[in-house]
Amino acid sequence: MNIGVFDSGLGGLWILKYLERELPNCNFIYFADQAHIPYGNHTPNEILKFSEDIAEFLISKNCKIIVIACNTATSAAISTLREKYVDIIFVGIEPAIKPAGELSKTGHIGVLATKVTAEGQKLEDNIQKFASNLEVHTVIGYELVELVEGGKADTDESEELLREYLEPLLEKNIDQLVLGCTHYTFLINNIKKIVGDKVNIIDPAPAIAKRVKQVVEDKQVLNNSVEKGSTILYSSSGSEKLRDFYSKM
């Protein structure tokens, strides 16, 4: 029995790393759909189709739990995947509006996300549910995923683009910034440089790993092996970049 984890590319590796830490005896299969990246520029229907194909692949590899380590795919596909594959447990990731709302003192929250996530119904529902009394300022991070995939996360080019997106949020007096795309964790150095220490950055990766651990324990779906687990990486583009990034994290 394996745990499948997928994303459009490198972003979900952060979640994988936290999962490996929380569940050291489990076997993980990571799938990066780099042939179709960035997901944020596709339509929700296209992303659903990609996600279904990946789910089938992971199920064929004996995965009983599938972690959608991608906000965009969660937004576009998780409901349908749960309906279609009823024996599989899907855990998704969504922008962390709830903790941001609880922590905010200024009443202004910033969300940086892909187009599909920013415009999706799921984000709107979460804002209504957890932050309806606050001002939530959402900005689309066009081109950021491409910079991360190109190994340019810590460059001036990425800083410049991030400034364009984040400075208007700072003018709105945000004190919480929600990273609504798993790729953005790679940009953390430049993000911190721009927002300074008055803004708290919320990355949901550790919380997702804890949630998956809870699911594993509740459902008792895994063997209680004492051996160290393994991780296998796949990329739909055949790119070696995935292995390089993983080994350096």
User: Out of 91, 123, 140, 145, which residue is the one contacting ligand DGL (CB under 6 A)?
Assistant: 145
Stretch near ligand DGL under the rule CB under 6 A, chosen from 6-14, 187-195, 200-208, 240-248: 6-14
Q: Is 201 helix (H, G, I), strand (E, B) or coil?
A: strand
User: Out of 19, 140, 181, 205, which residue is the one contacting ligand DGL (CB under 6 A)?
Assistant: 181
**Amino acid at site 154:** D
Q: How far is the CB of 184 from ligand DGL (least distance, A)?
A: 8
Cα dihedral 191, 203, 62, 222 in deg (nearest 10): 140
Q: How far is the CB of 176 from ligand DGL (least distance, A)?
A: 18
User: Out of 2, 34, 114, 158, which residue is the one contacting ligand DGL (CB under 6 A)?
Assistant: 114
Active-site residue (options: 70, 93, 147, 177) = 70
Stretch near ligand DGL under the rule CB under 6 A, chosen from 22-30, 38-46, 102-110, 237-245: 38-46
Q: Is 133 helix (H, G, I), strand (E, B) or coil?
A: coil
Whether the Cβ atoms of residue 134 and residue 178 lie closer than 8 Å to each other:
no
Q: How far is the CB of 11 from ligand DGL (least distance, A)?
A: 3
Q: How far is the CB of 66 from ligand DGL (least distance, A)?
A: 15
C-alpha separations of 11 from 8, 202, 220, 232, 238 in Å:
8, 15, 28, 16, 17
Q: Which is nearer to ligand DGL, 30 or 222 (CB)?
A: 30
Cα dihedral 78, 135, 140, 33 in deg (nearest 10): -20
Q: Annotated catalytic, 63? A: no
Q: Annotated catalytic, 26? A: no
Window 69 to 108, contacts with ligand DGL (CB under 6 A): 70-72
Spatial distance between the Cα atoms of 192 and 177, rounded to a whole number of angstroms: 10
> Would you count residue 34 as binding ligand DGL (CB under 6 A)?
no
Whether the Cβ atoms of residue 40 and residue 9 lie closer than 8 Å to each other:
no
Whether the Cβ atoms of residue 13 and residue 128 lie closer than 8 Å to each other:
no
State which H helix or E strand residue 144 sits in.
Answer: helix 144-149
Q: Which is nearer to ligand DGL, 166 or 222 (CB)?
A: 166
Q: Does 38 sit behind a cis peptide bond, omega within 30 degrees of 0 on the bond before it? A: yes
If binding means CB under 6 A, how many residues of this protein chain bind ligand DGL?
17
Tell me which residues touch ligand DGL (CB under 6 A).
7-9, 11, 37-40, 70-72, 114, 117, 145, 181-183
Catalytic residue list: 70, 181
